[in-house]
Chain A
Amino acid sequence: MSMDYFQYLRKEKMPHIWCPGCGHGTIMKSILRALDKLKWNQNDVVVVSGIGCSSRTPGYLDFNTLHTTHGRALAFATGIKVANPKLHVIVVSGDGDAMAIGGNHFIHACRRNIEITLIVFNNNIYGMTGGQASPTTFTGFKGTTAPYGAIEQPFDVCSMAQAAGATFVARALDLDAVAMDRLIIQAMQNKGFSVVDAWSQCTTYFGRPNKWGDASDMMEHYKALTYNVRLSDKMTEEEKAGKYPVGVLHQATRPEFCAEYDKLIERVRPVEK
């Protein structure tokens, strides 16, 4: 039975700002399906964002929602979670927001392993500001600030997250919403910092200048650039070269920040007299 999306949406805020063919709506619906499965009380869910196309998501969602400054969503979210650990805190961010201006907050949230789920709406471009190259723009691809093709190397969001200490790391494609649902649920259930690198096609500013066609053509391109991590063992290094794995890429158990802080309080708080 299909769920009723409208119980989680602020209907009066529709239509959304995203372009036809954009993958952000698919990711937003996947987040809602995940939350519906988890049955969390809407009053206990906080959705935080920074600046960019992805960061308009919270405005459409009927939870406690916070639209912060560019790149800083994780800093605000950290304050919320530490102040009230009972709240379920989800951060939605873009590739520029999370990996460029917010890169420092990204690695430190991973390091702290604070129980927050970060969904990076990764479309390899700055969409809101008009198609400038981002830290995940593939080398050689065009943006309005890389008219001859990017000469820099892109960040791999998942490798960064794993190296910095996140305890659940996954990559999902918007063309496989069923898998995305499963990965986001797992991320939200993780008792630690979780990162889902959710790929989304920007038809307007990434597809068009790079001649990647319309939304469905772009999905084919992304499909060709990726492989299912579960097939990794059966693939040769040559087959995997230059491609990105999709699925659960890293899981670990490490102490979680808020739980550790609670232990600290227990340890140093004066005994009742």
Chain B
Amino acid sequence: MSDEATKPSGTVKFLSGNEACMEGAIAAGCRFFAGYPISPSSEIAEKMSGRLPKLGGKFIQMEDEIASMGAIIGASLAGLKSMTATSGPGFSLMQENIGFAAMAEIPCVVINVMRGGPSTGNPTGPSQSDVQQCRWGTHGDHPAIALSPSTIREVFDTTVACFNFAEMMRTPVVLAMDEITAHMREKIIIPQAAEIAVVNRRKPSLQAGETYYPYEAGEELVPPMMNFGEGARYHVTGLDHDRTGFPSAAAEVQEALHRRLVDKIEKHREKLLLFEHHRTEDAEVLVVAYGSTARSAKRAVEEARAKGIKAGLFRPITLYPIPEKQMEAAAARAKRVVVPEMNLGQYKLEVERILGKGPAITGVNRVNGEPIAPSLILSAILGD
């Protein structure tokens, strides 16, 4: 097989976020994609349909997003790193099976290119209004990991991270891009394969004759995983189950399962946290922003600094779990906090919970399909 087909080129490219996402997925080892067309994510499926067969990987266009989510879970269980890509309405349809993947602990990646909602909303306009859906979209208490990139290179890196986190934690991971990040083109230097850390699922180390308990999680709280067809012949269900994988109605088994699914993320939380501090050391006005909005925020911070105001930006790249301590540290000297986002204050709820009653917290919110310009954020920083 040629190097060109298997490895990122290491050369400079001019890519959209959706294209960089495809490159990141391939670099992370994704070899199965199932999806359904939807703006503004469709380019990811289109690019995957071209690239995967060249690598011996599999692309399938399913009949809807429900089936797409089911298919990537099945493919992951059969041993291939798998992903799908969608946008708001499709993300809503995927929620039941995202819950299945969380419950049955099947690694997989869901790209959600956020557009305006609810319902059909604004199919081609940017939005960040699925943030809480990334956390609480499926029913029941459940773990959640969601990342949100700001630059094209970061789309590549966070897509790789999504696969790594999914394999490490055995849980579905969401990449929440906004439409600006997905469609904007930027220069990107794709790293050489050798420079990219790729994590694969941990396999059990069984002695001869030893029974495989598919949900025996051990101290790491994440069970090692055998794929279907590798000889273990185990059972997978979305019902509450014990370490054997079979349903259990025992109260103590159910309690332990649900707590472990959430606790495993907490236990490994620090490994999952990606974030950026920009001039936060002495910041008296802190901006907390993510995705493309953080780019406007960075500009606003620079303009505020030029006016002599000690402004800073804390940018969570991992939205969930939330980099709480890091956000607190960034806000240590802050008298005011500004949270710009292309929704009506979804992440601001989290910021308020974490920073409490200390600083005054204001949102800068836009839900009209327009990006949040630096001037709007600057006004909020200045307290206009």
Contacts and interface: CB of A to CB of B under 8 A. Distances in A.
B71 A86 contact: no
A64 interface: yes
Contact of A270 (B1, B62, B69): B1
A63 B234 CA distance: 7
Contacts of A80: 74-75, 77-78, 228
B102 to A, nearest CB: 12
Interface in B234-254: 234-239, 246-247
Given A59-B246, A261-B53, A79 B78 contact: yes
A268 B54 contact: yes
Given A75-B70, A79-B32, A82-B75, A43 B97 contact: no
Given A80-B75, A83-B74, A72 B66 contact: yes
Given A43-B229, A43-B233, A83-B32, A78 B66 contact: no
A42 interface: yes
Contacts of B234: 64-65
A69 B71 contact: no
Taking chain A's interface residues, is the majority helix, strand, or loop, or is none over half, making it mixed? Answer: helix
A10 B55 CA distance: 39
A269 B56 contact: yes
Interface string A32-66: 00000000001110101000000000110011111
A272 interface: yes
Given A59-B246, A75-B74, A82-B75, A65 B67 contact: no
A78 B67 contact: yes
Contacts of A68: 70, 73, 100, 238
Contacts of B218: none
Contacts of A59: 235, 237, 246-247
B233 A78 contact: no
Given A76-B74, A269-B1, A270-B4, A43 B96 contact: no
A104 B58 contact: no
A265 interface: yes
Interface residues of B, number: 48
Contacts of A191: none
Contact of A76 (B32, B73, B235): B73
A108 B63 contact: yes
B197 interface: no
Interface residues of A, number: 43
Interface string B45-74: 000000001111010101110111111111
A139 interface: no
Contacts of A269: 1, 5, 53-56
B231 A43 contact: yes
A87 interface: yes
B82 interface: yes
A67 B238 CA distance: 7
Contact of B67 (A62, A81, A104, A273): A104
B74 A273 contact: no
A264 interface: yes
A104 B233 CA distance: 29
B70 A265 contact: no
Nearest to B68: A75
Nearest to B2: A270
Interface in A194-209: none
Contacts of B229: 43-44, 46, 64, 84, 86-87
Contact of A105 (B32, B56, B63, B100): B63
A234 interface: no
Nearest to A65: B235
B319 interface: no
A81 to B, nearest CB: 8
A64 B53 contact: no
Interface in A218-273: 261, 264-265, 268-273
Contact of B79 (A63, A67, A69, A84): A84
B34 interface: yes
B265 interface: no
B44 interface: no
14 contacts: A46-B78, A59-B247, A65-B236, A68-B70, A69-B238, A75-B70, A75-B71, A78-B60, A78-B70, A79-B75, A80-B228, A83-B80, A84-B80, A108-B63
What are the 7 closest A-B residue pairs judged by CB atoms, nearest first? Answer: A79-B74, A75-B70, A79-B71, A83-B75, A75-B67, A83-B78, A79-B75
Interface of B: 1-2, 4-5, 32, 34, 53-56, 58, 60, 62-64, 66-80, 82, 96-97, 100, 228-239, 246-247
Given A78-B70, A269-B55, A270-B4, 8 more contacts: A43-B233, A65-B235, A67-B235, A68-B100, A72-B70, A78-B62, A270-B2, A271-B2
